[in-house]
Amino acid sequence: MGELEALRVRDEVLQAMYWMRAEGLDDAPSAEVLARFLAVPPDTLGAFLERFLAEGYLDSEATGYSLTDLGAELGKRTFADEFAGLTGAAHGECAEDCWCHSSPEEAARCLEDRVGHVH
């Protein structure tokens, strides 16, 4: 497992888990659920998940893996960066001059405030 590949997979996993949690889909997805979601073989993903667990990005739960505070923060940041062009205001959500338009991070915070169930 190369370092660049590990960083790429880490960002994808944390971003997916952040999104799943924000949407109320799953707070602690299993390796199998994540593998299906990311279209990665479960055996391949398992080694990465164990690494991210050891590095403090994930916690082990009875049903799967959950984000630590560190993992959630990085997942939020990569999500905001990835979807910066798509996280602007939709009709009726916030005004053109909303503070969320200043950066991808602020857009993610505004989205969290509107959704109201991201921790």
pLDDT tens string, the chain, 119 residues long: the values are: 688 888 999 999 999 999 899 888 999 999 999 999 999 888 889 999 999 999 999 999 999 999 999 999 999 888 877 766 554 545 445 666 676 666 667 777 776 666 654 44
User: Rounded to the nearest 5 degrees, what angle is found at the Cα of 90, between the Cα atoms of 88 and 95?
Assistant: 75
Domains of the chain are 3-115 (1.10.10.10)
Q: How far apart are CA 2 and CA 24, in angstroms?
A: 33
Enter the pTM of the model.
0.68
Chain-centroid distance of CA 119 in Å reads 12
Tokens of 74: 């990085």
